[in-house]
A and B are shown apart, each in its own frame.
Chain A
Amino acid sequence: MADVKLTIAGRPYDVHCADGQEAQLIQLASIVDTKARGIQGGTEVRQLLFAALMLADETQDAQTKAGSAEPQLDSLRAAIALAESRETAARDELRAAISRESAALAEAKKAADGERAALDELEKLRQGAPVVPAPAAPAHGRALGQIADRIESLATKVEQIP
């Protein structure tokens, strides 16, 4: 315990308090002393009585104000919760939008790559690069063979014309 000497309304008092609370006690005594000195006239006991009454009045007033502020505090808490909820939703939406944009960019890049390859192929064709011919349809080869047969037969007949 700590020993503290206080002076209130001109009278010294020796009081005890827990270690470390000396400064707080002195501060409170100073408030009481200020109130007591503010009361003019009367006995010391009367000065202390009025000081106590004034402090009690201030305490009650502060409690009333705190009580009236409680609903506002609840509203503020609700507003903060709502704002936090909206922020979370906005973050989710932003994340989804970024994901969609990334997918769209990848798709666009793929399309651009395809277009570039097509342009390269076209440029090769313009520069006269050898083009691999499409193989003839099998039916064409057979039909040509049959026509060759008929023309050879015709040639034989022409050769046999006297």
Chain B
Amino acid sequence: MELDEASLAIGRIERALSRMEKALTDRAARPAAAPAVSATPLPPAEQSALKAEVAAVIGELDRLIAEADRG
């Protein structure tokens, strides 16, 4: 059923968000590392790509929600 497919997708999204939240919480709880390392956990290019992907996913979600509101 289509409803099940949507519910499964939402469940997957919720679990992925929980994973991200847990990873970020664990990272914040770790003792501070060497300043040089903690200042640049990811290369700038990867940071930008990650931010761009997050923005793209949020935009896609916004678009989908607006479309669903319009029926």
Q: How many A-B residue pairs have CB under 8 A?
A: 87
> By the criterion CB–CB under 8 Å, are B53 and A155 in contact?
no
Chain A count of residues within 8 A CB distance of the other chain: 27
Q: Does A136 contact B (CB under 8 A)?
A: yes
> By the criterion CB–CB under 8 Å, are A140 and B68 in contact?
yes
CB contact list, B1-34 vs A, under 8 A? 2-3, 5-6, 8-10, 12-13, 15-17, 19-20, 23-24, 27
CB contact list, A105-162 vs B, under 8 A? 133-138, 140-148, 150-159, 161-162
How distant is the Cα of A135 from the Cα of B24 in the complex, in angstroms?
Answer: 36
Closest Cβ of chain B: how far from A36's Cβ, in Å?
A: 115
> By the criterion CB–CB under 8 Å, are A154 and B16 in contact?
yes
Chain B count of residues within 8 A CB distance of the other chain: 31
Q: Which residues of B contact A137 (CB under 8 A)?
A: 2, 68
Of the candidates B9, B42, B67, the one having the most CB atoms from chain A within 10 angstroms of its own CB is B9
Contact of B53 among A134, A141, A154, A159 (CB under 8 A): A154
Contact of A154 among B27, B57, B60, B64 (CB under 8 A): B57
Closest Cβ of chain A: how far from B68's Cβ, in Å?
A: 6
CB contact list, B33-71 vs A, under 8 A? 37, 41-42, 50, 53-54, 56-57, 60-61, 64, 67-68, 71
Q: Which residues of B contact A150 (CB under 8 A)?
A: 53, 56-57, 60
A binding-site residues for B, Cβ under 8 Å? 133-138, 140-148, 150-159, 161-162
